[in-house]
Amino acid sequence: MKSASTYSVTQFFNNLHTNLSNCGRLLVQISNWQIGMNTLFEFLTIPSLITLGTDALRLLLSFALGIFIVNIYQWTHTKVPQKSFTDTLIILCMLISVVMVIIGDSIARAFSLVGALSIIRFRTAIQDPRDIGFVFYALAVGMAVGAGNPSVAILATFLIGIIILCMYHWHQRFGNDNEFSLEFCLPPDRSFETVYRSVFDKYLIYERLLEKRIKKSQMVELTFRVKLVNPQEWLTFFNELSQIENLTEVRMDKE
């Protein structure tokens, strides 16, 4: 009887300890739930909603201005623009706006973001310097929107866009129609340079060697900027170059 009584008392205290532990866990869960609800209610207050709406408007404004920048780029680009590059301009404009909102007036955040972004390596070569200008165009507009200066962003976007359009139409109307970019490949033998020289002397008034590269096939690739005596003879000039033996991959683009 004594051992049974002792066992009953021990079991009673064990059950009591288990119930108290369960009650403690329940109280902790209720406390966490209350903290979460308080945080949610604080987030749903009027000042927080106003801040959230302001940030959303900044993001939408940077998106709209990014689309305008892309349209300016497409209207003034002489070649078919890459979709990846035009999409990147819009994304850059929005991302820089978000970054400026995150930084705010905190110098520590600014240095932290610089350190975090410094690990990124960009290996895509931008061949046209004009594309670099549009990248900075999108960056500047995104910075203005994120810094809380929408009027500056809108004014700069439209004013710079109008200037770019004016320069494009000026070059289209008063630019030189007889300047071309010329590329071709030939064997690595100096004697072959005299082969195209006669054609150059016949049709060109100006030539400038821009680049000389050795390809994997051991062919020499030459890139020239040329100006024709008569712009109407560009096709004849191109055909005569293409007919030269061992001169391959002839390409001619309007500057």
Give the pLDDT confidence of 108-142 residue by residue, as tens digits: 766 666 665 665 555 556 667 788 889 899 989 99
In the chain, where the domains are located: 1-44, 58-174, 179-254
pLDDT for 162: 94
Give the pLDDT confidence of 148-177 residue by residue, as tens digits: 888 999 999 999 999 999 988 887 676 666
Count of beta carbons in the 10 Å neighbourhood of residue 100: 21
Give the pLDDT confidence of 63-95 residue by residue, as tens digits: 999 999 999 998 888 676 778 888 989 998 998
pLDDT for 159: 95
**Dist CA 242 CA 240 (whole Å):** 5
Kindly compute the dihedral angle of the four CA atoms of residues 18, 23, 29, 30, in this order, to the nearest 10 degrees. Answer: 170
Please give the CATH topology (third level) of the domain spanning 179-254.
Alpha-Beta Plaits (3.30.70)
pLDDT for 1: 45
Percent above pLDDT 90 for the chain: 15
CB 217 within 8 A of CB 223: no
Phi-psi region of 249 (alpha: psi -120 to 50; beta: other; left: phi over 0): left
CB 196 within 8 A of CB 241: yes
Q: How far apart are the first and last CA of the chain?
A: 109
Full-model pTM: 0.57
pLDDT for 2: 44
